Amino acid sequence: MSILSVNAGSSSLKFALYPIEGAGIGEAEVTGNIEGLEPSGQPRISFCATGQNKASAPVVVKPEQDVFDTALDTLKGLLATRFTHLKVQAIAHRVVHGGSYFSSSVRVTSEVLTQLASLNALAPLHQPHNLAGIEAFAESFPDVAQIACFDTAFHRTLSPLETTFAIDRQLTEQGVRRYGFHGLSYQYVTQVLQRESPRSAGRTVMAHLGNGASVCATTQHQSRATTMGFSALDGLMMGTRSGALDPGVLLYLMEQGWGHDQIQKLLYKQSGLLGVSGESADMRTLRASSAAGSAAARFATDLFAHRVVREVGALSACIGGLDVLAFTGGIGEHDAVLRQQVCDALAYMGVHMDASRNTQATGDSVVAVHADNSEIEVWVVPTDEGRVAAQDALAFL
Ligand SMILES: Nc1ncnc2c1ncn2[C@@H]1O[C@H](COP(=O)(O)OP(=O)(O)O)[C@@H](O)[C@H]1O
Ligand SMILES: CC(=O)OP(=O)(O)O
Ligand SMILES: [Mg+2]
């Protein structure tokens, strides 16, 4: 018997099958990723089953079809043809927004789906895909429990000083507040650090840098501050999202005649690395392009690093300093240049990277990359949101 986890991010659909072993879950028997689902991306599926070679192939999207729907169909097709021997007992779905409704995982019913759908507008790149995934799998596996596991849940320990926006309190009472995201990833990285680094119980800052990107500060392994807010737009610059932006810019655009849809598209799909470089949302493409001489690609990656430095400083201030810094997410795990840039800029705080340890960290395993004389520990932790979701789902069985 196994648990399937489904993680629809803004640029990818990740999945894994974990065997149930007694009261826990074992090593994943199948892991896979359909990536390149972001605007301008090139969809591609790769997956690997225990004892087999990794398989990879392009995913063809018909002009009239939505890229995420195609990814879901591809995943369902794969499960129905290749892994029928693995009996699925529960499906754990990453759902980015639990709003004020849920501060822990929940078994999905039609009432829960209605509540979650009311949050679609707060996370348009994620929530509709997350819910489409639940509906698709509920149809294919009608007798299997569907469990929603929330990005927002890890941040339930944020204090009102962190969650409250300085606006009319009536809006705050309506739920217009900071929720925070990437919680399954932060939960996983926290578990790893708890095991690997005794100092991580102190002042820890984790940077989840993927197509979506955020920073989270913890003490005693609990979330104390984070950069994403009411929606997954706030904070860092991302693949195609702006991150924090002076709200005056939005007023200006509205005065210029921009409508809601145009502004939404700008902020979610045409900004970030893609908007600033004018080339790509993918850090790998931008690294290659800047090596080939593109000043625009170089500037976009420099700006990305600068924004990380800015937020790590701000969040460290919120928890009274820094003991442990951790990088995760597609960029955080794989891009040694970005990590070096960020750590060089944080040298004033006592962060010192070991350049060779850093370049050897390629996202395959948990590695400490700080120099022996560094006051602050620096870790690279490959995240596993699917495992946290599957662990949660097990509790419902
Ligand atoms: N080897 C690499 N070097 C630099 N960046 C990488 C590398 N591999 C992946 N990335 C970056 O990671 C991003 C995807 O991160 P991920 O966390 O998987 O995204 P999602 O937000 O969809 O969950 C890609 O857009 C790419 O920019
Ligand atoms: C919340 C969010 O931005 O998630 P992802 O990075 O998976 O797109
Ligand atoms: Mg992700």
Q: Domain for residue 184, yes or no?
A: no
Q: How far apart are CA 63 and CA 176, in angstroms?
A: 37
Q: Is 330 in the pocket of ligand 1 (CB under 6 A)?
A: yes
Per DSSP bridges, beta strands 367-368 and 324-328 are unpaired
Q: Is 154 in the pocket of ligand 2 (CB under 6 A)?
A: no
Q: Domain for residue 381, yes or no?
A: yes
Q: Domain for residue 183, yes or no?
A: no
φ, ψ for residue 77, nearest 5 deg = -60, -40
Q: Is residue 94 marked as binding?
A: yes
Residue 364 shares a structural domain with residue 222: yes
- Looking at all shown ligands, the one closest to residue 331's CA atom is 1
Q: Fill in the amino acid letter for 228.
A: M
- For residue 253, give the CATH number of its domain: 3.30.420.40
Asked if the interface predicted TM-score (ipTM) of this complex is over 0.95, the answer is yes
For the CA of 12, the nearest atom of ligand 1: 22
Residue 256 shares a structural domain with residue 379: yes
Per DSSP bridges, beta strands 324-328 and 377-380 are parallel
Q: Domain for residue 39, yes or no?
A: yes
Q: Is 384 in the pocket of ligand 1 (CB under 6 A)?
A: no
Q: How far apart are CA 223 and CA 185, in angstroms?
A: 12
Q: Is residue 282 marked as binding?
A: yes
Residue 254 shares a structural domain with residue 314: yes
Distance 333 CA to ligand 1 centre (A): 8
Residue with tokens 């045409």: 270
Q: Can you give the pLDDT of all 397 residues of the chain as single tens digits?
A: 999 999 988 889 999 999 999 889 999 999 999 999 988 789 999 999 998 999 999 999 988 889 999 999 999 999 888 888 778 999 999 999 999 999 999 999 999 999 999 999 999 989 999 999 999 999 989 999 999 999 999 999 999 999 999 999 999 999 999 999 999 999 999 999 999 999 999 999 999 999 999 999 999 999 999 999 999 999 999 999 999 999 999 999 999 999 999 999 999 999 999 999 999 999 999 999 999 999 999 999 999 999 999 999 999 999 999 999 999 999 999 999 999 999 999 999 999 999 999 999 999 999 999 999 999 999 999 999 999 999 999 999 8
Q: Is residue 330 marked as binding?
A: yes
Residue 233 shares a structural domain with residue 137: no
Which alpha helices (DSSP H) does the chain contain, by range?
A: 67-82, 110-117, 127-140, 160-163, 169-173, 183-196, 247-255, 260-269, 272-277, 283-291, 295-318, 329-334, 336-345, 355-360, 385-394
Domain count, the chain: 2
Residue 256 shares a structural domain with residue 334: yes
Q: How far apart are CA 186 and CA 215, in angstroms?
A: 9
Residue 264 shares a structural domain with residue 333: yes
Q: Domain for residue 391, yes or no?
A: no
Q: Specify whether 151 is catalytic.
A: yes
Residue 230 shares a structural domain with residue 315: yes
This prediction's pTM: 0.96
> Which domain range does residue 203 map to?
198-385
When computed from its CA atoms, the radius of gyration of the chain, rounded to whole angstroms, is 20
